[in-house]
Chain A
Amino acid sequence: MTTIDPAAAVRPGTPVAPPKHLVELTVDGETVRVAEGTTVLQACRSAGHDDIPTLCYGDTLTPKNACRVCMVEVEGSRTLVPSCSRTVDAGMVVRTDTERVRHSRRMVLEFLGSSTDLSVAANVGRWNEEYGVDTERYGSERATKAQPVVRDNELYVRDYEKCILCYKCVDACGSQWQNTFAIAVAGRGFDARIAAEYDAELPDSACVYCGNCIAVCPTGALMFTTEHDMRAAGNWDESRQTQTDTICPYCGVGCQLTLHVQDASIVKVTSPSDHSVTHGNLCIKGRFGFQHVQNRD
């Protein structure tokens, strides 16, 4: 799967924009020219800096800049700047790897690692090593988000000990994609959490089980029950999995499905975020309706 330019991920029906002016800026001493309106993150990536960590950023969502792990230094700015959401200005001088930037990333990763379970979050292990993360220095009495896994339906589990409150599931469920609005951030501060109204169980909420929240979750807090149970049993092994692209058989929309298959069983279904029809989204049938394929009788 190729990564896409998020600026190109326009929704169907969006009029073609007039051509944009190019803006020149400096990233770590190197001159970069990008279209105006480009984010600093995109500019850095186009200049070959693929190493800026991101967690709450999603290529199909409006940047929320809540996790603050992608911070970079911009000359003239009193504070560090979230690269995922800040758009470039002409003459901007960006530094992505200063001591100040590394300190900030280390602290954010330590804060998250000391309060939540990041064991299945992609790339975090590598970043922890790179930035010298030490969560032990926060002591054993520290507050954490440890809590039981919520299993209130057959299709997916919610493990909020892994939730970093990136808002992506809320945005995907709400106005940015699904328009179901089953969940929101409730509470405040360290006690803030993702919840349906009155912390209702999902079957009592507006949830339609499209699973688009699972698709955007960066830490595995939202997970297919199949994947969750296989991980718990120690059977989950991505090296033994194949990915097969197909078209959803249920209706005429033509959503592309990626079937994740392990040991001749479908264990998970996703859709590529750069697919022009789905942008990574599916409905309950495409996402979870694969059991009939596996009926051998």
Chain B
Amino acid sequence: MDLKLSSHTPTDAEVDAIESVLGPTRSSWHGGDRTDAEQHGDHHVARGGHDLRTQRHRLLPVLHAVNDRVGWISRGAINHIAARLDVAPADIHGVATFYGLFSVTERPTRQVHVCIDLACRIAGADVPDGAHPSPCLGLCERAPAVFVTDAGERPSQGVLAPATPVQVRDLVAGGRLPDEPAPQAATPQVHHDRSSLVLLRRVGVGDPTSIHAYRSHDGYLALRRAIEMGPEAVVREVVESNIMGRGGAAFPAGRKWHTVAHHPVRPHYLVCNADESEPGTFKDRAILEGDPFSLIEAMTIAAFATGCEQGYVYLRGEYPRAKQTLRRAIEVATEHGLLGDDVMGAGFSFHLDVFIGAGAYICGEETAIFNSIEGFRGEPRNKPPFPVDAGLFGKPTLINNVETLANVLPIVLHGGEAFAATGTSGSTGTKLFCVSGSVTTPGVYELPFGATLRQVIDTAGGVADGHRLRAVLLGGAAGSFATPDDLDVPLTFEDLRAAGLTLGSGVVMVLDEHVDLVEFVHRIAAFFRDESCGQCVPCRVGTVRQEEVLQRLEHRGPAFDDDRQLLADIGRVLRDSSICGFGHSAHGAIESAIAKLGVFS
């Protein structure tokens, strides 16, 4: 490509950061020193071209490296990245400005992101001067939460929750981040019998990055069993388990496995969606931080069964501990021959990499993940083609949520039929519920499908003392509201659908009588406005118009009835004509708040 670069040059620190990902610069043709190139006599040879462009998937990691090192991404840095990857600067700028955690203007190395989303909002989140408002940080059980990043030679990231206003101001001023509580703090189970746990059984029982602790609690038995069974049989068990995807869309996982396993096009890719960003959702974090080997083992089984040699975990950038834990666990697994060219000596190869998101809710959409990994803006693709036919790098791709994959271990160990004995026929197995808001002990709770909403809330110790249940937000911002009348509805995909509700990712956010519902619903609309990728007109403009109408309704303008009609019209086109599930679900919770809670009436 004939790149035209501006005269801006990178600093030494920026070059270091870029080379930490891409390796040393080989020649002046891709950003090296001209005199050095002349010494090696290569100034007439254009290296790169296609070779460089196949490296585009390293763009996001390089941008992270620069952002972590200097705190922002300068024109000089982009020029150097452009030369190294043979991607135009305008294109890289377009990618960098897509993500909330990157900046293309200079800023202090300390950045404090204060969660202003639903659970933290109820808990009284406050954004002081010098901090950024942030969408949900996935720490709802300890709301209100902040996420702190320090750029530098030794970049660091961490979270604090709950965070008092005094603590937040201290962090903005550069104060030290206190240690986080242990991972099992997210899964309290104080009012719950631990022996019934399946997915959470290992969380908190040993060092999460110790392979010995993992093995002594039945770790890697399932992979051994899978290798004995063979790929076909594993896929059959997953199909027979009738497990529905746990990411929110509830698609039969076995169908994806079967299609990818039998797809003639090679290679196949495996992607784990760990971009858990749905407001109110923090279940995947509990597994990633508390039992990372279970995910690695499950992905290895999935790769074995569906013929994938390369897997990626796409992890949201706001989960610093999960990133560390998972990366460490992958290293350990590789050292022990549980990942790599010859897994368990069984003659199959599986490599696993972690990709870190950079602050974009839309990158939890499966095809947006592919674009993000490939180094493009995280815009969803039109479907069809579906990921099983043309996913990551245009190849057949199996993509599952963390919780879905975690269920593979019990399915393989005990068989699909035994797995399906728990729950109901349409919703098999157990479910992780993210209980937050006005309950005694917020946290992740695991119950069989079919437990009622009342049982889930009781498992978390019931509604907080002295408070009255007003409503429950089920499924997050893309979900719907349940009322006290819905407390005895069994929490299954089919029962909730029949009741006009959604389970989504398992969010159970309890709202008491003190919550300002109008303001709460307005925040949901603002969330969708802020997080729309902007690709299609219905969503790019529709989410803005929806938020504007809600603002008007909040103040009861003169055109009240017209505005309700307008809101319904906006919701309809969002659902009918948006490209992806983000737009399709951007009106659901608002419609449900109006219909079920009588908000704005």
Residue positions of A touching B, CB distance < 8 A: 65-69, 71, 79-80, 82, 85-86, 100, 103-104, 107-108, 111-112, 114-115, 137-139, 141-143, 164-165, 174, 179, 181-192, 195-198, 200, 204-206
With A107-B570, A182-B90, A184-B94 known as contacts, the answer to whether A197 contacts B534 (CB < 8 A) is: no
B 65-101 binary contact with A (CB < 8 Å = 1; else 0): 0000000000100100000000011111110011000
Whether A187 pairs with B90 at a CB distance below 8 angstroms is: no
Question: For residue A82, which residues in chain B have a CB less than 8 angstroms away from its CB?
Answer: 382
Report the separation of the CA atoms of residues A187 and B562 in the bound assembly, to the nearest whole angstrom. Answer: 33
Whether A187 pairs with B532 at a CB distance below 8 angstroms is: no
The segment from B160-168, B340-348, B481-489, B571-579 found at the interface with A is B571-579
Report the separation of the CA atoms of residues A77 and B377 in the bound assembly, to the nearest whole angstrom. Answer: 27
The segment from B16-24, B468-476, B544-552 found at the interface with A is B544-552
Report the separation of the CA atoms of residues A104 and B575 in the bound assembly, to the nearest whole angstrom. Answer: 10
Question: For residue B584, which residues in chain A have a CB less than 8 angstroms away from its CB?
Answer: 79
Determine how close the nearest CB of chain A comes to the CB of B60; give it in whole angstroms. Answer: 15
Question: For residue B578, which residues in chain A have a CB less than 8 angstroms away from its CB?
Answer: 68, 79
Determine how close the nearest CB of chain B comes to the CB of A273; give it in whole angstroms. Answer: 23
Whether A104 pairs with B534 at a CB distance below 8 angstroms is: no
With A79-B577, A80-B576 known as contacts, the answer to whether A190 contacts B94 (CB < 8 A) is: no
Whether B90 pairs with A196 at a CB distance below 8 angstroms is: yes
Determine how close the nearest CB of chain B comes to the CB of A283; give it in whole angstroms. Answer: 14
Which one of B91, B530, B534, B569 lies within 8 Å of A103 (CB-CB)?
Answer: B569
Which one of B531, B548, B577 lies within 8 Å of A71 (CB-CB)?
Answer: B577
Whether A85 pairs with B360 at a CB distance below 8 angstroms is: no
With A111-B538, A112-B541, A137-B562 known as contacts, the answer to whether A195 contacts B93 (CB < 8 A) is: yes
Determine how close the nearest CB of chain B comes to the CB of A106; give it in whole angstroms. Answer: 8
A-B contact pairs, 29 of them (CB 8 A): A66-B535, A69-B537, A79-B577, A79-B578, A85-B382, A100-B576, A104-B538, A107-B570, A107-B572, A107-B577, A108-B577, A112-B541, A114-B541, A138-B548, A141-B548, A142-B548, A165-B537, A165-B540, A179-B1, A181-B3, A184-B90, A184-B93, A185-B94, A187-B534, A188-B534, A189-B540, A192-B534, A197-B88, A197-B90
With A68-B536, A80-B576 known as contacts, the answer to whether A188 contacts B360 (CB < 8 A) is: yes
Whether B531 pairs with A189 at a CB distance below 8 angstroms is: yes
Interface residues on B, range: 35 or more
With A141-B548, A189-B534, A190-B534 known as contacts, the answer to whether A197 contacts B577 (CB < 8 A) is: no
List B residues 251-301 near A (Cβ within 8 Å).
none
Say yes or no: is B205 at the interface (Cβ < 8 Å to chain A). no
Question: Which residue of A is nearest B91, CB measured?
Answer: A184
Q: Which of B6, B88, B90, B104 has the most CB of A within 10 A?
A: B90
Whether A111 pairs with B377 at a CB distance below 8 angstroms is: no
Say yes or no: is B542 at the interface (Cβ < 8 Å to chain A). yes
Report the separation of the CA atoms of residues A142 and B548 in the bound assembly, to the nearest whole angstrom. Answer: 7
Question: For residue A114, which residues in chain B have a CB less than 8 angstroms away from its CB?
Answer: 541, 545
Question: For residue B570, which residues in chain A have a CB less than 8 angstroms away from its CB?
Answer: 107
Q: Nearest 7 pairs between A and B by C-beta?
A: A181-B88, A184-B94, A192-B534, A111-B541, A107-B573, A206-B4, A197-B93
Report the separation of the CA atoms of residues A195 and B543 in the bound assembly, to the nearest whole angstrom. Answer: 23
Which one of A165, A185, A205 lies within 8 Å of B377 (CB-CB)?
Answer: A185
Inter-chain pairs besides A79-B576, A85-B382, A185-B94, 11 sampled, C-beta below 8 Å: A82-B382, A107-B569, A108-B538, A111-B538, A184-B88, A186-B93, A187-B98, A189-B532, A190-B529, A195-B94, A197-B93
Residue positions of B touching A, CB distance < 8 A: 1-4, 6, 75, 78, 88-94, 97-98, 104, 360, 377, 382, 384, 529-538, 540-545, 548, 552, 557, 559, 562, 566, 569-570, 572-573, 575-579, 584
Whether B533 pairs with A189 at a CB distance below 8 angstroms is: yes
Whether B530 pairs with A108 at a CB distance below 8 angstroms is: no
With A104-B576, A184-B90, A206-B4 known as contacts, the answer to whether A111 contacts B382 (CB < 8 A) is: no
Report the separation of the CA atoms of residues A149 and B180 in the bound assembly, to the nearest whole angstrom. Answer: 51
Determine how close the nearest CB of chain A comes to the CB of B415; give it in whole angstroms. Answer: 33
Question: For residue B384, which residues in chain A have a CB less than 8 angstroms away from its CB?
Answer: 86
Q: Which of A80, A107, A138, A164 has the most CB of B within 10 A?
A: A107
With A143-B544, A143-B548 known as contacts, the answer to whether A108 contacts B90 (CB < 8 A) is: no
Which one of A85, A111, A139 lies within 8 Å of B552 (CB-CB)?
Answer: A139
Report the separation of the CA atoms of residues A79 and B539 in the bound assembly, to the nearest whole angstrom. Answer: 14
Q: Which of B88, B382, B537, B566 has the most CB of A within 10 A?
A: B537
Whether A188 pairs with B90 at a CB distance below 8 angstroms is: no
Question: Which residue of A is nearest B557, CB measured?
Answer: A139
Question: For residue A107, which residues in chain B have a CB less than 8 angstroms away from its CB?
Answer: 538, 542, 569-570, 572-573, 577
Q: Which of B360, B532, B544, B557 has the most CB of A within 10 A?
A: B544
Which one of B3, B90, B572 lies within 8 Å of A183 (CB-CB)?
Answer: B90
Whether A108 pairs with B537 at a CB distance below 8 angstroms is: yes
Determine how close the nearest CB of chain A comes to the CB of B560; give it in whole angstroms. Answer: 12
With A82-B382, A185-B377 known as contacts, the answer to whether A200 contacts B6 (CB < 8 A) is: yes
Determine how close the nearest CB of chain A comes to the CB of B52; give it in whole angstroms. Answer: 14
Determine how close the nearest CB of chain B comes to the CB of A90; give it in whole angstroms. Answer: 15
Report the separation of the CA atoms of residues A186 and B541 in the bound assembly, to the nearest whole angstrom. Answer: 16
Whether B536 pairs with A67 at a CB distance below 8 angstroms is: yes
Report the separation of the CA atoms of residues A103 and B98 in the bound assembly, to the nearest whole angstrom. Answer: 31
Question: For residue B535, which residues in chain A have a CB less than 8 angstroms away from its CB?
Answer: 66, 192
Determine how close the nearest CB of chain B comes to the CB of A206; give it in whole angstroms. Answer: 4
Whether A186 pairs with B548 at a CB distance below 8 angstroms is: no
Which one of A112, A142, A187, A196 lies within 8 Å of B537 (CB-CB)?
Answer: A112
With A79-B584, A198-B75 known as contacts, the answer to whether A68 contacts B91 (CB < 8 A) is: no
Question: For residue B6, which residues in chain A have a CB less than 8 angstroms away from its CB?
Answer: 197, 200, 204
Determine how close the nearest CB of chain B comes to the CB of A221; give it in whole angstroms. Answer: 15
Whether A103 pairs with B573 at a CB distance below 8 angstroms is: yes
Report the separation of the CA atoms of residues A197 and B8 in the bound assembly, to the nearest whole angstrom. Answer: 12
Question: For residue B534, which residues in chain A have a CB less than 8 angstroms away from its CB?
Answer: 165, 185, 187-192
With A111-B537, A137-B562, A186-B94 known as contacts, the answer to whether A65 contacts B542 (CB < 8 A) is: no
Determine how close the nearest CB of chain B comes to the CB of A183; give it in whole angstroms. Answer: 5
Whether B572 pairs with A181 at a CB distance below 8 angstroms is: no
Question: For residue B104, which residues in chain A have a CB less than 8 angstroms away from its CB?
Answer: 198
Report the separation of the CA atoms of residues A136 and B20 in the bound assembly, to the nearest whole angstrom. Answer: 54
Report the separation of the CA atoms of residues A189 and B78 in the bound assembly, to the nearest whole angstrom. Answer: 23
Report the separation of the CA atoms of residues A66 and B578 in the bound assembly, to the nearest whole angstrom. Answer: 9
Question: For residue B377, which residues in chain A have a CB less than 8 angstroms away from its CB?
Answer: 185
Report the separation of the CA atoms of residues A179 and B559 in the bound assembly, to the nearest whole angstrom. Answer: 50
Report the separation of the CA atoms of residues A137 and B564 in the bound assembly, to the nearest whole angstrom. Answer: 11
Determine how close the nearest CB of chain B comes to the CB of A147; give it in whole angstroms. Answer: 16
Question: For residue B542, which residues in chain A have a CB less than 8 angstroms away from its CB?
Answer: 107, 111
Question: For residue B559, which residues in chain A have a CB less than 8 angstroms away from its CB?
Answer: 137, 139
Q: Which of B3, B538, B557, B577 has the most CB of A within 10 A?
A: B577
